[in-house]
Amino acid sequence: MTQVSASDLHVTELGETGPRVVFCHGLFGQGKNWTHAAKQLAGDHRVTLVDMPNHGRSAWTEHLDYVAFADRVAELFDAEDPVRLVGHSMGGKIAMALALRHPELVERLVVVDISPVTYPKTSEFAGYILAMQAMDLDTLERRSDADDALVEAVPNRTVRSFLLQNLRHDSSGWRWQPNLDLLGRESAVLGRWPEDELAAVAPYDGKVLWIAGSESDYVTEDHVSDMLRWFPRTSRITIKNAGHWVHSQQPEVFQQVLERFLAG
């Protein structure tokens, strides 16, 4: 496993031979969240895990902009070595925009539990941001104190543990890795799809697999027409007993579905 800071994006690389698979994580995530899937693929794939802008070890930006983020991630790729791109949630929107704007760089695309639409509500995620910002980091003595401080605002233990992966301790004390001020200030942008900015691009004609969780409402029948408008060669799979974080809630099933598509 190799850690690389490519300009302002931090990437982790696994595997030495085979097609290149690139993972784009969602809001509050990091590239390393995909380590389990990456290790399963690394025997016969070259895998790249990217920290999205304003997350993990990647640089912060002044604004949230899916198109700009897609173009920045695209700079990691080479048209002579097109990638198999996987994106979840926020990372799924970045991956979709990248495939549309730079189709020569993407051999095929996997979109995980997000649609190319603007969602009217992002209040759940905005609430998480407010709870994280409200925590008094100077009074923390251990990570369990942070867990206790989030219980009321984030009662789901799994979600709380996921958020706390972003809490780091160094010589200056505790700090959050994501750019919470920006994410909170422009939280409405997180829910939108950059329709106008992509209006002039052609549909992506590569193979696309949509993987949704049965208990999530981020991918619905109402979204199918938009999916097919932008990505006409789309196939869809819904994984039972999974919500928005389908890849962590049903990892074995997700891995089987992913590997079958990558090999096809």
Residue 91 in tokens: 């990372």
For residues 73 and 51, give the distance between their C-alpha atoms in angstroms, rounded to a whole number.
Answer: 10
pLDDT in tens, 81-91: 999 999 999 99
For residues 187 and 174, give the distance between their C-alpha atoms in angstroms, rounded to a whole number.
Answer: 24
For residues 172 and 108, give the distance between their C-alpha atoms in angstroms, rounded to a whole number.
Answer: 43
Which regions in the chain score pLDDT beneath 70?
A: 1-7, 122-123
CB 48 within 8 A of CB 22: yes
**Does an H or E element contain 127, and which?**
helix 123-134
pLDDT in tens, 193-251: 999 999 999 999 999 999 999 999 999 999 999 999 999 999 999 999 999 999 999 99
Handedness of CA 101, 103, 105, 111 (dihedral sign): positive
Query: So what's the pLDDT on residue 170?
Result: 87
- Partners of 235 in the β-ladder: 209
Which residues, 6 or more positions from 164, have their beta carbon under 8 angstroms from its beta carbon? 143, 146, 147, 150
Confidence (pTM): 0.94
CB 190 within 8 A of CB 216: no
For residues 84 and 105, give the distance between their C-alpha atoms in angstroms, rounded to a whole number.
Answer: 9
Q: Could you give phi then psi for residue 36, rounded to 5 degrees?
A: -60, -50
Amino acid at 123: S
Query: So what's the pLDDT on residue 5?
Result: 53
- Partners of 86 in the β-ladder: 23, 110
Query: So what's the pLDDT on residue 2?
Result: 53
- Active-site positions read 89, 181, 244
**Domains in the chain: ranges and CATH:** 2-119+193-263 (3.40.50.1820), 123-187 (no CATH)
Query: So what's the pLDDT on residue 6?
Result: 52
Query: So what's the pLDDT on residue 201?
Result: 97
